[in-house]
Amino acid sequence: MRPDPKPCRVHRGHPTMSQITLLGCGLMGQPMARRLLQAGHTLTVWNRTRSKAEALAAEGARVADTPAAAVARADAVITMLDNGEVVRQVVFDAHGPGPSVAEAMPAGCLFIDMGSILPAQAQDHARRLAERGVRVLDAPVSGGTVGAEAGTLAIMVGGAEADVAAAVPLLSAMGRPVHVGPAGSGQLAKLANQMIVGITIGAVAEALLLAERGGADPARVRQALRGGFAESRILEVHGQRMVEGDFAKRGSLAIQLKDLRNALHTAGELRFDAPITQALAGLYADAAAHGLAELDQSGLFCELQRRQRPANDPTS
């Protein structure tokens, strides 16, 4: 039987979220946790690799031994996990002799999945948790570690309007939340975001390589394009990484590939033809196969560069 939980203090129209739990303290989770601590929230953290959670203890976070223990007294639970299957395992499977996370969360608690998963998975999780009296939002983010550190993430939120309103003060500590529709809609918006990001990285990389092949300075070409119709955050940030050869991981190429594959999976379910996304997913897959998976996603530049023959190569 489910234990009698402490009533959650997150109520519709009266958000008093002070007891926050974050499950997942990786590349994005750690800076997001710091933003929550800086906003004055009492934060409990858990991570499968405990050392990543313990890195936040010196900054005021409490480290829990199990995910169920982490959520037992939470007003809101945030997950920042790798994929939908990991979310399912962490939330619905028991870890040891005690209850699962789904069983341990207080009634009325607000569960916010901020990782990137399939829309269908988000809808399934929302349904299963709603049966337990837990309110659910899918709220994936864009902006990478830079946005997470600065608290400027774009946050795409799916769920009930009243629950979104209750979560806005909490989410605003990490970025700019926008309600985009019912359960699963946040993940649809994130797929749209990742399609644009992944495709645009490819366009910027290919264009800069063409300019270089023709004898132009790619750094100056990038500078010349800024402010025109080709201007974008990708040209600004990822284009700079390309011209500097800086492919240290902020958001990984592997994750970009996962998101494009999720977009194609969802497109298939919707009977939607996405040929541009299909083509770019193939390029990212080739890059991963050639050992570039753990580079920043701008590392697609290296794969496109690898494909180029010398200008004087007569072969076709």
Torsion on CA atoms 178, 184, 189, 191, rounded to nearest 10? 150
CB 177 within 8 A of CB 258: no
Among candidate residues 6, 190, 249, 258, the one labeled active-site is: 190
Say whether 258 is catalytic. no
Q: Count Cα neighbours of 29 within 13 Å in the Cβ-side half-sphere.
A: 29
Residues shown for the chain: 316
Closest to 287 measured CA to CA, from 264, 262, 305, 265? 305
d(CA 200, CA 205): 8
Torsion on CA atoms 188, 173, 52, 45, rounded to nearest 10? -90
Q: How, if at all, do strands 10-11 and 14-15 pair?
A: antiparallel
Residues belonging to the active site:
190
